Amino acid sequence: MQTHEIRQRFLDHFIKAGHTEVPSASLILDDPNLLFVNAGMVPFKPYFLGEQTPPYSRATSVQKCVRTLDIDEVGITTRHNTFFQMAGNFSFGDYFKRDAIAFAWSLLTNSLSDGGYGIDPQKLWPTVYLDDDEAEAIWRDYIGVPAERIQRRGLKDNYWSMGVPGPCGPCSEIFYDRGPAYGVEGGPEADEDRYIEIWNLVFMQNVRGPGGGKENYEILGPLPKKNIDTGMGIERVACLLQGVDNVYETDLLKPIIDLAAELTGRAYGAGDHDDDVKFRVIADHARTAALLIGDGVLPGNDGRGYVLRRLLRRVVRSVRLLGADKPTMGAFINLVIDTMSPSYPNLATQRKHIVDVAVGEEASFSKTLAAGSKLFADAAAATKAAERTTLSGSDAFTLHDTYGFPIDLTLEMAAEAGLTVDQEGFTTLMAEQKKRAKADATARKTGHADMSIYREFLDRGPTDFTGFDELISEAKVLGLVADGARVQSATPGQELVVVLDRTPLYAEAGGQMADVGTITTGDGVRLRVTDVQKAGKSVWLHKVVVDEGEIAEGDEVIAAVDQQWRHGATQGHSGTHMVHAALREVLGPSATQAGSLNRPGYLRFDFHSGKPLSESQRREIEEISNAAVEANYPVHTFETGQTEAKSMGAIALFGENYGDQVRVVEIGGPFSMELCGGTHVASSAQIGPVTLIGESSVGSGVRRVEAYVGMDSFRYLSKERALLAGLASSLKVPSDEVPGRVEQLVTRLRDAEKEVERLREESARAAASGLIDAAVTAGSTLIVGGRLPDGIDGNGLRTLAADLRGKVADRSAVVALFSSVGDGDAPKVPFVVATTDAARALGIKAGDIVKEIGGFVGGRGGGKPDLAQGSGTDAAGIDAAMARLRELVRDR
């Protein structure tokens, strides 16, 4: 049975049982605890935590997941994967243990004709938590599993929580017996290689307290509503139903391995374990990389981008070590898209973008490999020069961590150079890095810790946002929070958070900054609203300063938006949609959104693109945007189902966790249609002029445009016009001739600077030649040196010193040159010392001299025995420095 069919049978089974199908969320969600979605229940966390009310009582999904903690283990064993699909069914206060167990059992054991997987019931072993008599009884008496095939296990194996205070509960896992060829008898307790877990049923019935690990926390009591969270590993079930030993031999990964074998000329499964590891790395990482890029991740140097970059580079490395010397990434990513798009169609629609990003990273890493090879050669030469045969762990770690050079490539090249590598030292440094990263990840696990103060409001239900229809609303104060604690009242000067039952003030979201405004009462209380944020995406938190009067919990108030602020904010947000539409028209659909920010009069928009905008493209984007403004397109907003919105062509931002019902903002019909929860103008003419003010790079494959709108755009253009008029007046030419005139002046200035530099060099050479005539002898060594004309930098002094040294190369000689560079009270004093072969034979080293004389000019320096340089700040010390040099040489 093919993996896509296994996936569809799961969904069909639970849809038939009354579950709502929920499409897989993006691998990127707005969760402070997670780099990527790593479990099927993650998109449902707000429901389990009580932060949001679920729109259904039972749901089912097949969620894309990525886990990268064991990335270095991928390929070494066949059990580690970075990407996997977790099928799950969920109940929010609806059914509980008996139905959850029955649903799982029937799907696993029903015949193929009845929609099941047709697994032999005799091969299935359930486990339950130590004291979960209820679950054991269901398995034994209701399902009919013999008692000897039901095993009880402790907190570590059969009790689940999110790792933070909140819902928790016992588990019941289902294991499949692969037979005596895979290990000993005795169930999961005896051998988890023979008995592999394929399904985990979590009975969410309790609340846990703080604590670390899987066992170090307290069970505080029962949940108000019992929930079900289950997960079935699609890939593991595919192994069983396809009759293969591991996921790498299933229908979605084996074709990638076969392609790798074809492209490298090496064979998989031919008895070379190291080769097999590389094949598995290619298959696993290429698939994960394609899925990540499809969900909006781009290669970078930190966070998600770093993980993607590492995955892609491990593919390139593995292909190289298998013998391929040509680019292969395009072939792998295209094959991944072919195999995975039946379940994830967005891969096919984004094919060009995904392939371009992956191929671009391959090309970039090829350059890194070239640079790393040079750095390795330097490290290897230094190792041999020190008469050692082992490259230090520090060198290997620097190559790996700073330059992205893989350790196994370092090992291979070291062997070719006749060296070994201190792998223990390298491993120690890597372990220290992982320990720091783990500590950082633990420190980040505070995303829900501060929510407890707002739990009452979250349980009450979402804030009624009235800001789409009105700017002033009557409201009631539900609570006041100051310094992290509830308070009953607040007086002038206090800063606090106010929770209202309803509000017209927009909370920061979707790139739009929060509204500012006021909260007042009829008897003179006035609060100044400086920011509005959300708790649990549903409760508005008004950050305020009390200006007048005393506010108290329960007060009836008037919440009002600053109308000028809101007008500017709507201009900025609608302008962002206009610029996005114009970008897509100019660059094509691959120019997808990567982030945005808009505030009154200003917008910035990040988009996916591998190269800068040309001047003509910038002009075209500006013209399209302003043509849409002039067209005075109507702006319509409406709510509809997510599927319906996407079928209409509405653009969704990857990484956003949209609900079933979405808000669509349509500007001018097909011109712009996006899913958006922000505030907007009524018609495009209200945006005012759009002026692009900048375009730049913000990361690998991501560009940023910035623009002014409305009056800010007018003021910017007015300022530019005044500047141009001033230049025209100064240059005494019409405005349209200013660019040409400025270019002429710049050319003349550059030519003049070159001539000045030429004259300075001639003067310096003449002065330097005179130094030989004025040279003195100290002991048996000639000393050529002194102060040269001002303005010669360190590079110029090096050139002159080398030239002078060449003229006295037949004897023991030292050349020492000083200059002064820069204006003001503290000019720089560069200096250079060079020695001849005969001087070095006497033990006179330029690097030693520089260290000795640097202090006389208020500086320091260093270098090699033949040439060294430094810089100081006190030209008055040059004579003393030369005197000290003569003393040093005289002693030789």
806: number of Cβ within 10 Å: 11
Rounded-to-integer distance, Cα 400 and Cα 285, Å: 18
Rounded-to-integer distance, Cα 686 and Cα 753, Å: 50
Based on the number of CB atoms within 10 Å of its own CB, is 866 exposed (0-12), middle (13-18) or buried (19 or more)?
middle
Instruction: Tell me: is residue 273 an annotated ligand-binding position.
Output: no
DSSP string computed for 804-836: HHHHTTTS-EEEEEE--B-SSSS-BEEEEEEE-
Tokens of 785: 């040196």
Q: What is the dihedral of CA 182, 184, 185, 191, to 10 degrees?
A: -80
Contact call for residues 414 and 421 (beta carbons, < 8 A): yes
CA diameter of the chain:
110
Tokens of 443: 């420190």
Based on the number of CB atoms within 10 Å of its own CB, is 532 exposed (0-12), middle (13-18) or buried (19 or more)?
buried
Element (H, E) at 175: strand 166-177
Rounded-to-integer distance, Cα 231 and Cα 173, Å: 10
Instruction: Report which residue type is found at 684.
Output: S
Neighbouring residues of 15: CB distance < 8 A, sequence distance ≥ 6: 21, 60
What is the total residue count of the chain? Answer: 892
Pairing status of strand 58-66 against strand 20-21: parallel
Contact call for residues 506 and 467 (beta carbons, < 8 A): yes
| Pick from 55, 27, 57: nearest CA to 42 | 27
Neighbouring residues of 301: CB distance < 8 A, sequence distance ≥ 6: 309
Q: If DSSP codes are grouped into helix, strand and coil, which group holds residue 499?
A: strand
The CA-CA-CA angle for residues 801, 803, 806, to 5°, reads 110
The CA-CA-CA angle for residues 658, 662, 663, to 5°, reads 125
- List the beta bridge partners of residue 125: 175
Instruction: Tell me: is residue 573 an annotated ligand-binding position.
Output: yes
Instruction: Report which residue type is found at 554.
Output: G
Instruction: Tell me: is residue 676 an annotated ligand-binding position.
Output: yes
- Give a three-class secondary structure readout of 229-292: EEEEEHHHHHHHHHCCCCHHHCCCCHHHHHHHHHHHCCCCCCCCHHHHHHHHHHHHHHHHHHHH
Residue 414 C-alpha from the chain's centroid: 33
DSSP H helix total and E strand total for the chain = 25, 35
Rounded-to-integer distance, Cα 693 and Cα 202, Å: 54
Rounded-to-integer distance, Cα 280 and Cα 74, Å: 7
325-330: Cβ within 8 A, 24+ apart: 327/359, 327/362, 327/363, 327/366, 328/260, 328/263, 328/362, 329/286, 329/358, 329/359, 329/361, 329/362, 330/355, 330/358, 330/359
| Pick from 83, 53, 49, 78: nearest CA to 66 | 83
Instruction: Tell me: is residue 19 an annotated ligand-binding position.
Output: no
Instruction: Report which residue type is found at 703.
Output: R
Rounded-to-integer distance, Cα 205 and Cα 194, Å: 31
Binding residues for Zn(2+): 573, 577, 676, 680
Annotated binding-site ranges? 573, 577, 676, 680
